[in-house]
Amino acid sequence: MTETPDFGVVLRAGGVALVLDLSEGGLPAVLHWGADCGALDEQGYSALLATGVLPVAPSEVDVPVRISILPEHTRGWMGRPGLSGSRAGAAWSPLWRVTGAMLDGTELAGASDRTVVNHGAGTLVVTAADDDARLAVTLTVELSEAGIVRTRAELQNLGEEAYQVDELLLCLPTPAIASEVLDFAGRWAGERAPQRRAMAIGAHRREGRRGRTGLDAAMILSVGTPGFGFAHGEVWGVHTAWSGNHVHQVERVLSGEQLLGGGELLLPGEVRLAQGERYESPWVYGIYGDGLDDSARRMHRHLRARPQHPGSIRPVTLNVWEAVYFDHDVDTLLELADRAAEIGIERFVLDDGWFGGRRNDRAGLGDWTVSGEVWPDGLHPLVDRVRGLGMQFGLWFEPEMVNIDSDLARTHPEWIMATGDRLPVESRHQQVLNLGIPEAYAHVRDAMCAILDEYDIAYIKWDHNRDLVDAGTQPLGRAGVHEQTLAFYRLVDELKARYPELEIESCSSGGGRVDLGALDRTDRVWVSDNNDPIDRQQSNRWTTQLVPPELMGNHIASGASHTTNRLHALSFRAVTALFGHLGVEWDLRRASEAELAELEGWIRLHKANRELLHGGELVRLDHPDASLSLNGVVAADGSAGLFAYVSLARASVASPGRIRLPGLLPTATYRVEPALVDGLPHGADTAPWWELGPLELTGAALDSIGVVMPRLRPEQAVLLRAVRVDDDDDPRGLLA
């Protein structure tokens, strides 16, 4: 190692610093990723570099191991290498030499008068090559204004023989104090179940091999200081923004280094590069925060700053799946549209069953033409009624799937993904349509465009209801998940380009496609097929670790859950669904007049607070009593907050005492009061202070002391609203 580095780059934004070393002609290595350390001059940078070098341990290589964002086995890294692959067994351990580096478009190499570059948010692009291995790589490292790191690599084969890429893993180091691991498990109707463990020597590796993100996806794999929670403890997380097979991992080796990594999981032979061809990895995100809420808020700010982030008001939606399932009767649906408009719903979505021979889930997938049997006049009567009532119209598609009992499968059986002469095992009575075949892709695209051209459709619910098994291209059966994932992205991109006002929801057996690869192109995710509010309390709470509320589909369903058959009061269902992109999944014809009036009240309350709910900053309460939960949003300027206090189960005490309301401005004074629709939940006992009317307390008092809440029965919830009293006459109308 030279005494002074060739140059270093210090990126600082959003309270985060990323310090990168490009010495000795090597790929960028991370000297620091975490809390902002301030600007570094040459002396400070050199000291930081020198003080981070580990001593050479006995029986290890004789020089300090330099670990770059793409870790190299050839430099002595004995963990999982960044690049795994070979050219027929050769060129499997490249030694990269940097050939160029640019920061926000400005060349850095040769800047002898600037050995340390201090910068704000920015993008560093480094090119490197191994002339012996005949490989080149371009590595992109970004720090966003919100303090989010993301990295991506593009590998190019310069040799005459094909190069097979087995894995490309991008990694960020974390300190040894990050000794506790948090990620997620899940299943259908039970997505985002948190799981914790202590970090140990070796790799904690989560692989997604389902051909989609997966109901059991790790989502974000985080490591942090022991006992880290929503409001305390440093946390470092990694997210792989890819909607196909993928990897999240953390690895700690015997020398003490610890790396968080992510990338695409490639099936055997899936990426073979001919001379000149390139493989581009997915973006791998690094998310740092002082507590999980800080991490989540940083991620939300990053996503909200994107140019494609939905800028329009999120319309309250009615989806008719749980109202009619496959029983598409025109008069019934027209009546549902009338009821929806009367209570303030703004978007009407027709779900599965409108096309081909799709009278049940065993037939018709792939035949994207309106069923003349069910809809003799096409969808026009329903679309015209919905639009005439002032609502948007949305439609369900599952473009990547096909039933064997369909005209498409009978005409083109070779378009079904398979590894040879056998068909994969069925799931949901369906197979996967190979969109990696150009003709199959064009067929689906053109069929969807024909529907979108004929009808005034503002929204697509895009479903993907099975894992990919034996996902190959006939007749040879070469693995095709990589190409299928790219085809999904390409199809969404084409539709968005052709219909720029079209919004698309990512649904996949519920929450099976919740990742930033999908969200780069779509406008919301369906959190879960399970609308039971008890289960949704968990899945919603943890989905917000990555996804801001306005991109999360949360629906008020019928009193008896279609998934669990549990009964819940409308107030509990509504409070649970309120913190997201609100919708209704209920046969409104069967609702009583009292229920419709109350539902209309909840919709009105949501609309009055929609700007806050969809633009505010997330807060979640750490509390030792697992029977209760508190979550909320606080306006970015501190002007208001809305909090949900939830009784999940019967507690061991009559009252937990004061409950803190975090996130408000400490020195500001707030008027605090309940936000009720149709009174307290049945059987609940009001908090005595509620009888006094709105009270005024400082944000510091609410955060550090809190207020006593009503005594609730299990599976009940109430809302509290805090509005800054010195705001000009409640400009957002939050007290309406």
Judge whether 502 and 458 are in contact, CB under 8 Å.
yes
Judge whether 434 and 440 are in contact, CB under 8 Å.
yes
The yes-or-no answer on residue 463 being catalytic is: yes
Phi and psi angles of residue 519, each rounded to the nearest 5 degrees, phi first: -75, -15
The per-type count for the chain, helices as H runs and strands as E runs, is 14, 42
Where are the extended beta strands (E) located within 283-355? 284-290, 317-319, 347-350
Nearest to residue 8, comparing CAs of 138, 119, 157? Answer: 119
Considering 529, 532, 535, 727, which one is annotated as catalytic? 529
Rounded CA gap, 540 and 15, in Å? 27
Rounded CA gap, 693 and 461, in Å? 44
Q: Is 455 exposed, middle or buried (0-12, 13-18, 19+ CB in 10 A)?
A: middle
Rounded CA gap, 579 and 577, in Å? 6
Q: Is 229 exposed, middle or buried (0-12, 13-18, 19+ CB in 10 A)?
A: middle
The yes-or-no answer on residue 384 being catalytic is: no
Considering 6, 293, 367, 463, which one is annotated as catalytic? 463
Judge whether 259 and 67 are in contact, CB under 8 Å.
yes
**Which alpha helices (H) appear in 567-695, and where do they start and end?**
570-578, 593-608, 610-613
Q: Is 226 exposed, middle or buried (0-12, 13-18, 19+ CB in 10 A)?
A: exposed
**Preceding omega of 475 cis (within 30 degrees of 0):** yes
Neighbouring residues of 579: CB distance < 8 A, sequence distance ≥ 6: 540, 549, 554, 613, 631, 632, 633, 644
Category of 353 on φ-ψ map: left (φ > 0), alpha (ψ -120 to 50) or beta: left
Instruction: Give the length of the chain.
Output: 736
Within its chain, how far is the Cα of 29 from the centroid?
Answer: 27
Rounded CA gap, 407 and 610, in Å? 44
Residues assigned a catalytic role = 463, 529
